[in-house]
Amino acid sequence: MDTKNDTFKRSTFNGLDQQEGEKTCKSSADNLESININDFEEEEYWRKTRKLLIIIVISSIILVLLIICAIIGILVPMQTKSNSFSVLNKDRDLPKTICNSTLYKDSCYSRIYSLKMSSSKNIGSNLESPKEIFMLSLQVTLNELMKLESSISQENDENDPITKNTLDACDHLIQDAIDNVNMSISSLQHDKLSTYDVSDIQTWLSTAITDQQMCLDGLMEFENVSLSLQEEMKTSMQNATEFTSNSLAIISNLFSIIQGPVYRKMLQVEENHFNLIGWKHRRLLEAEKVNLRPNLTVAKDSSGNYRTISEAVNVVPKRSNQRFFIYVKEGEYEEHMTIVSGSLNYADGVATYDSGTFIGRGFIARDIGFKNKAGLTKLQAVALRSSSDKSIFYRCYIDGYQDTLYTHTNRQYYRECIVTGTVDFILGNAAAVFQNCDLQPRQPGPGHKTSFKIQECSISTLGNFSACPFLGRPWNNYSTTIVMKMDIQGIIDPAGWITWEPDTIAPDTIFFAEYKNTGSGSALDQRVTWPGYRRSITEEEAEMFSVEHFIQGSQWINEENVKFDLRM
């Protein structure tokens, strides 16, 4: 109530007589009650108004915050899509974060940082991009491999022929490792990497690791090679091996973290980048009689360009992107190089690696045989070693005894081939798929146990056969083999698998499995009980070993060129 009005009312009341005062008092009391009610309603109105205003203000703030969050939610994925490496760019210590995925963390970080600081292109000392870090890791790897190759060349003045041959093989292997790292560096020049670029890099770095390990294995394979040389080479090789391993770990782990365009968008590239076997070459594999005009013809009767395959191979253009056709006329060509028949073997001082070789990328062999005539008593004697990435062997015959087919490295596909042998007659470190092949174990020597690695094939014996072969045995700690949809007859030992050395346990890190096999030899109740052996796997797990997922076959095996089953 207003103070001025209140005073006035009190003065008026005091100036009246009692009767008038009573009337006035009553009237004033009524007025006071009316005013109090109006004030209460007004106060209640303003109280509700203030509450409503507060609610409106708070709601507006929340709405603004929601809009801001929505904008951020849209912009962040867009930034990620614009650069598959941007997700990790804000990390304060990015090199250490990335190097934590490697086996050799300290050397990974120190050498990458050192190379960055010493680079003439260095601008500041920060490594801001995972792509830059991976590129530097590859450069460190390349530098170490080149040092190793130089060291091998300096050591190769040995008088002992076996040691010299072994070091020569090492030199070729390390040169191959250098080529694979260089290809990885070139592939990384793309603005964006597709999943197939990543698969290529992983394959090439895996091959580089295998090359180094094979060099070391070759040095230790013969007693003629001195222990001092073995240790010296092992020490020289340590850095190169570690940094190749680090680079492989980085590319393998980095893209499992960054869910960017590399997993969602294919890079737009030239047709032949993925489709290695283009439509122009489909007749090479699909036709019953090939009428293509060859670049060269080999014939023993001198009716072709050359009488030996070695001569023809020697004139093939180096590092060419064009396919080169060599037609070999019927006959047996006894040569050591890339074909057909030879007798180099362990007993005569030739390492397993160096017995017989095909290396060029994209190699295709059709309707031809490869044979090593060394025989049972000469131990390891490779008829065919393939190191060719994205190679195809179609309707080929590969004949030998121990270590017949050496699938050395890279991605390989075998279709409708026959492979014969005794001990470990299919071996190697390649990502190889065999479909509709016939594997024919020979009768081994006393005490030998046969083993092989197969997929989607059949088994039939060759000649008099009384042994009980095994499906395979793990060659190293991370051996991976799956036998699927195969007709396994009763000649297979019920245990199925055997360890590399007698009376030992297979490493827990292997992955051996069987999937939907048939035949009397496919029973699983007496199979081995290794931790790394799986008697059964899911369809999804089996799919990981299909032509599509395991060797990315849809990108380089054209269905019109050669039959293949893309999926399970």
User: What's the topology of domain 334-469+538-555?
Assistant: Pectate Lyase C-like (2.160.20)
Confidence of residue 288 (pLDDT cuts 50, 70, 90): very low
Q: How far apart are CA 387 and CA 210, in angstroms?
A: 11
Q: What percent of the chain has pLDDT over 90?
A: 13
Q: What pLDDT is attached to residue 282?
A: 41
3-state secondary structure of 225: coil
Burial of 186 (0-12, 13-18, 19+ CB in 10 A): exposed
Is the pLDDT at 472 greater than 50, yes or no?
yes
Cα–Cα nearest to 134, from 82, 92, 190: 190
3-state secondary structure of 472: strand
Is the pLDDT at 284 greater than 50, yes or no?
no
Between 48 and 243, the higher pLDDT residue:
243
3-state secondary structure of 163: helix
Could you tell me the maximum CA-CA distance found in the chain, to the nearest angstrom?
155
Least confident of 148-157, 192-201, 374-383: 374-383
Least confident of 4-8, 197-201, 316-320, 455-459: 4-8
Q: How many CA atoms lie within 13 A of 141 on its CB side?
A: 35
Q: How far is CA 483 from the centre of its chain?
A: 20
Q: What pLDDT is attached to residue 185?
A: 92
Structure tokens at 234: 């092992």
Is the pLDDT at 489 greater than 90, yes or no?
no
Domain ranges of the chain: 3-82, 90-264, 334-469+538-555
Distance set, CA 79 to CA 131, 264, 306 (Å) = 16, 15, 59
Mean pLDDT over 50-77 rounds to 67
Burial of 298 (0-12, 13-18, 19+ CB in 10 A): buried
Q: What pLDDT is attached to residue 414?
A: 92
Is the pLDDT at 78 greater than 60, yes or no?
no
Instruction: Check if the beta carbon of residue 557 is closer than 8 Å to that of residue 282.
Output: no
Instruction: Check if the beta carbon of residue 381 is closer than 8 Å to that of residue 354.
Output: no
Structure tokens at 355: 């017995």
What sign has the CA pseudo-torsion 461, 464, 470, 474?
negative
Q: Where does residue 116 fall: left (phi above 0), alpha (psi -120 to 50 degrees), or beta otherwise?
A: alpha
What dihedral do alpha carbons 212, 215, 221, 227 form, nearest 10°?
-90
Which one is catalytic: 403, 438, 508, 565?
A: 403
Instruction: Check if the beta carbon of residue 33 is closer than 8 Å to that of residue 1.
Output: no
Instruction: Check if the beta carbon of residue 515 is closer than 8 Å to that of residue 482.
Output: yes
Cα–Cα nearest to 249, from 84, 133, 101, 431: 101
Is the pLDDT at 422 greater than 70, yes or no?
yes
Q: Domain 90-264: give its CATH superfamily.
A: Invertase/pectin methylesterase inhibitor family protein (1.20.140.40)
What sign has the CA pseudo-torsion 545, 549, 555, 561?
positive
Instruction: Check if the beta carbon of residue 531 is closer than 8 Å to that of residue 508.
Output: yes
Is the pLDDT at 270 greater than 80, yes or no?
no
Q: How far apart are CA 453 and CA 434, in angstroms?
A: 9
pLDDT (tens digit, 9 = 90+) per residue, 499-547?
A: 988 788 898 888 899 999 998 889 999 999 999 999 989 998 888 888 8
Q: How far apart are CA 112 and CA 93, in angstroms?
A: 13
Instruction: Check if the beta carbon of residue 343 is closer than 8 Å to that of residue 337.
Output: no
3-state secondary structure of 370: strand
At residue 505's C-alpha, the angle toward residues 501 and 507, to 5°, is 100
Between 152 and 442, the higher pLDDT residue:
152
3-state secondary structure of 568: coil
Cα–Cα nearest to 553, from 417, 320, 389: 389
91 annotated active-site: no
508 annotated active-site: no
Q: Which residues 6+ apart lie within 8 Å of 68 measured at CB?
A: none
Q: What pLDDT is attached to residue 566?
A: 65
pLDDT (tens digit, 9 = 90+) per residue, 293-343?
A: 788 999 988 898 998 888 888 888 876 767 788 888 888 887 765 433 333
Cα–Cα nearest to 134, from 240, 251, 244: 251
Residue type, 418: I
Cα–Cα nearest to 526, from 496, 548, 500: 496
Please, what's the b/e burial string for 473-483 (b: 16 or more CB within 10 A of its CB; e: otherwise)? bbbeeebbbbb
Distance set, CA 345 to CA 349, 429, 450 (Å) = 7, 20, 18
Is the pLDDT at 181 greater than 90, yes or no?
yes
Q: Supply φ then ψ for residue 97, to 5 degrees.
A: -60, -45
Q: How far apart are CA 253 and CA 250, in angstroms?
A: 5
Which residue has 């997993």 as its token pair?
A: 263
Q: How far apart are CA 199 and CA 403, in angstroms?
A: 28
Beta strands in 238-320 (DSSP E): 296-298
For residue 13, the cross-strand partners are none
Distance set, CA 294 to CA 59, 98, 252, 301, 450 (Å) = 79, 49, 41, 18, 39
pLDDT (tens digit, 9 = 90+) per residue, 23-63?
A: 444 444 455 455 555 666 666 667 767 777 777 777 777 76
pLDDT (tens digit, 9 = 90+) per residue, 386-417?
A: 888 888 898 999 988 888 888 888 899 999 99
Is the pLDDT at 273 greater than 90, yes or no?
no
Residue type, 526: Q
Q: What pLDDT is attached to residue 532?
A: 92
pLDDT (tens digit, 9 = 90+) per residue, 105-114?
A: 888 888 887 8
Between 91 and 298, the higher pLDDT residue:
298
Which one is catalytic: 389, 399, 424, 493?
A: 424
